[in-house]
Structure 1
Amino acid sequence: MAEIKIAAETRTEFGKGAARRIRRADKVPAVLYGHGSDPVHVALPGHQLMLALKNANALLTIDLGSEQHLAIPKQVQRDPLKGFIEHADLLIVRKGEKVTVDVRIVPVGEAVSGNLVVLENASITVEAEATHIPESFEISIEGLAGGDQILAKDIELPEGSSLAVDEDLLIVNVTAAPTEAQLESELAEAEAEAGIEHDATDAEEAAEAEAPAESE
C-alpha cells in the first residue's frame, strides 16, 4: 500500500462556527490521535482528502511542516445529502505496528447457473501491519453450486495479516434459486398473512360459473 502525503494546518479555533469557516475554505476539520499523545487538531485540503479516502484503508502521511504523522482513517463523517466530508478522525500509527481494520470482500467468477450467491458479510476484520493493510480480499465463487459456502478461514490472507473474527464466520452462501412456483407460493402466503385479498380473475370467475352447483 502506497503512502499518500497530505499537507495539513494546525487548528486553533474550535466549535461549529470555526468548522463552517474551514469548510467554506474547501478544507476539512480533522483530529489526529493515538499512542497516548494529546489529540492534534488539523485542517486538511478537502479535495485531496476525498481522493485519498477512495483508497480503502488508506495510509496517510499528514505533513504539518515541523513534523509528520502516519495515520489511517478511523471515522469519517459525510454530509448525508451532498456526500462531502464534514470531519475525519485519524489514528496515528507506526511502521511495524499492527492495527485492526475491516477489509472489503470482492467475489470474482460465476457460480453454477440456477444458483443464488449471497454475500453474508461484505467485509472481514483482520489484524494487519499498519503499512501493509490490504485494500480488499478477492474470493472466487467460480463453479460453486447450491450448498457450497465460503468461511472466513477459507480466505487467503497476505503475510503479516491474521483473522480478528471467528474462523467459521460465514462469508458466502450459495443456494439453489427458487422456482417460479415457489416464488408465487411464498407471495401468496405473505399476502394471506397480511390480509391482502385480490378480485377473482376472468378465468377464475368463468371456471366457478361452469362448476356444477352443489346439491341441496
Structure 2
Amino acid sequence: MSEVRLAAEPRTEFGKGAARRTRRAGKIPAVLYGHGSDPKHLALPALEFARVVREHGHNAVLTLNIGNAESELALTKTVTTHPIKNYIEHVDLLLVRRGEKVTVDVPIVVNGEAAPGTLVTQDLTTIQVEVEALHIPEHVEISIDGAEAGTQVLAGQIALPSGATLTTDPEALVVAVNVAPTAEELGAEPAEGEAEAAEGVEAEAPAPSEQPEG
C-alpha cells in the first residue's frame, strides 16, 4: 500500500457543536494517538480523505503534515460513517514508525466460479494479519474457480504477501463449497399462477355422468 500525504490542522474546539462546525467547513474531526503520546485532535480535509479511503481502503497509511510541526506517519484505524447520510463523521488514527509492524484486518476477495450445482458460502470477509505499516496489502485473494462440492478454504491456506503473518486462527473456515439444495429440499411451492391454473383445471373437469335408473 502506498504512502499518502495529507495536510491536517490542529483542533482546539471539542464537543458535538465543534465537530459539526468542523464538518460544515469541509473537514473531518480526527484523533491521532499511540506510542504513549498525548492524543492530538486534528481536522482532515474531507474530500481528500474520502478519496484516500476509496482508493486505499480503511487501512491507509498517511503522512500527516500538521501545521508547522514535523510530519507524522499514521495508520487509519477507525472510520466512523453516518448511518443514513453516509458521510465520514470521525476518524481515529494510530501513530506508527517506519519499519514498525501493525495488526490489521485485511479484506478477502473471492475470485472465480465454483463447479455447476454448488453453493458457495463465505464465513469470513476479512482476516487479521501482522505486517509492516508501509506494506499493508489492500486485500488478499482466494480462487474457487471450478471448485467441487466439499471444498473448504481455511484462513491458514490463504497466500499472504512477504513479511505478513496471519494472526487469525489458521483453522478458521473462510469459504465452503457445498452441493446446491434442490427445489424439493428448499420446500419450494408452486408459483401463484401455477396454483391458480391447477385450480381452474379442477373446476372445469366434467362431473361423472349419471347412470339412468333401470
Shift of 1:204: 10
Hey, what does 2:60 align to over in structure 1?
Answer: 58
Identical amino acids, percent of aligned pairs: 53
Hey, what does 1:88 align to over in structure 2?
Answer: 91
Local SS of the residue matching 1:166: coil
Shift of 1:18: 1.0
Cα separation, 2, equivalents of 1:156 and 1:166: 15
- Relative to the length of structure 2, the TM-score reads 0.86
Cα separation, 1, equivalents of 2:153 and 2:201: 47
Hey, what does 1:10 align to over in structure 2?
Answer: 10
Amino acid in structure 1 at the alignment position of 2:123: E
Cα separation, 1, equivalents of 2:71 and 2:28: 18
Shift of 1:205: 6.6
Cα separation, 2, equivalents of 1:27 and 1:108: 37
Local SS of the residue matching 2:135: coil
Cα separation, 2, equivalents of 1:174 and 1:204: 42
The within-5 A match list for 1:60-209 is 60-64=62-66, 65-184=68-187, 202=199
Local SS of the residue matching 1:91: strand
Hey, what does 2:210 align to over in structure 1?
Answer: none
- Relative to the length of structure 1, the TM-score reads 0.86
For structure 1, which runs of at least 5 residues remain unmatched after alignment? 188-197, 211-216
Amino acid in structure 1 at the alignment position of 2:135: H
Amino acid in structure 1 at the alignment position of 2:4: I
Cα separation, 2, equivalents of 1:83 and 1:93: 28
* Pairing 1:29–2:52 present: no
Cα separation, 2, equivalents of 1:178 and 1:137: 29
Shift of 1:84: 0.7
For structure 2, which runs of at least 5 residues remain unmatched after alignment? 190-194, 208-214
Shift of 1:68: 1.0
Shift of 1:184: 1.9
